[in-house]
Amino acid sequence: METIKIKAPAKVNLTLEVLNKRHDGFHNIQSIMQTISLYDYITINLNRNFSGEEIKLSGTSNQIPYDETNLVYKAAKLFFETAEISNYSIEIFIEKNIPIAAGLAGGSTDAAATLFELNELFENVFTETKLHELCSKLGSDLNVCLKGGCILATGRGEQIQNLPVSENKISLIKPKNLGISAKEAYTKYSKKPLKTEKTKTQEMIKALNNGKNISEFLYNDLEYAVFEDYKELQTIKKKYPKSIMTGSGSTYFVLNETINETDNNYDIFNDLSFTQNGVCKVLDR
């Protein structure tokens, strides 16, 4: 039995601008995403001497499925099929610390970590470029989580370009009983009558390249899409006017500010930081 453990970072959207809907049903976006120091941990136990193919999932969360519908399972299956590897048994344990349906790429980063660590276990059968190709087949945020740091993401989010990482502390606040799907947020955005000019991402890029304070350039089209429908989001914005939603929500974040919230209906994550890295090993074989 061989074992490897990976830490998989959450991400936030410093900007998110929706450009147009594609023929495949996704939306073209331009977004600056940043990995942060909030991690899930993915442990894989591999048995190479097994007659057949077996993928077993388990973990600490009762909010996610541990079957073939989980993106981690799909990532493992895609890896083995693409590498044409047979006769294996793997057990994947997901230590879940990133909130579910929160706009933090919790599922995507776990899947990216799975691809990365299977590639490590099988002596780097795939190049980094090939791993990114596999990531793009599974979802929109996996490539960002695999690479890590500050990333300009375009297309549906799978086309990535590195940007400078600024020095910032970050705090998160999420309504405990509210998750917003990407489908809901994008559908509601498409029905909104007013659309802003798509200049926020380029303004953020200039600020990053010039080492400016980026707080005033934070922006998210999807916040505009769902804000009026949820009192929880309105409550956060009222208490923390400098906060911004990440992804399709429902998590908000502030930079260089501590969230002092006593309401038990919210999960709080203070004193996090921007990170330079994506998924990476914490326990070698």
Residues with catalytic function: 11, 141
Backbone angles phi, psi at 193, to 5 degrees: -75, -30
First to last CA, the chain: 10
Residue pair 116/75 in contact (Cβ under 8 Å)? The answer is: no
- Tokens 């500050």 locate to 150
Q: Can you tell me whether residue 28 is helix, strand or coil? A: strand
Backbone angles phi, psi at 65, to 5 degrees: -80, 145
Q: Can you tell me whether residue 270 is helix, strand or coil? A: strand
State the DSSP string of 35-95. Answer: EEEEEEEEEEEEESS-SSEEEEEEES-SSS--STTSHHHHHHHHHHHHHT--SEEEEEEEE
Backbone angles phi, psi at 230, to 5 degrees: -135, 115
Residue pair 13/103 in contact (Cβ under 8 Å)? The answer is: yes
What whole-number distance in Å separates Cα of residue 33 and Cα of residue 105? 10
Cis preceding linkage at 250, omega within 30: yes
The helix (run of H) or strand (run of E) holding residue 247 is none
Structure tokens at 131: 């791993």
Torsion on CA atoms 258, 262, 266, 268, rounded to nearest 10: 30
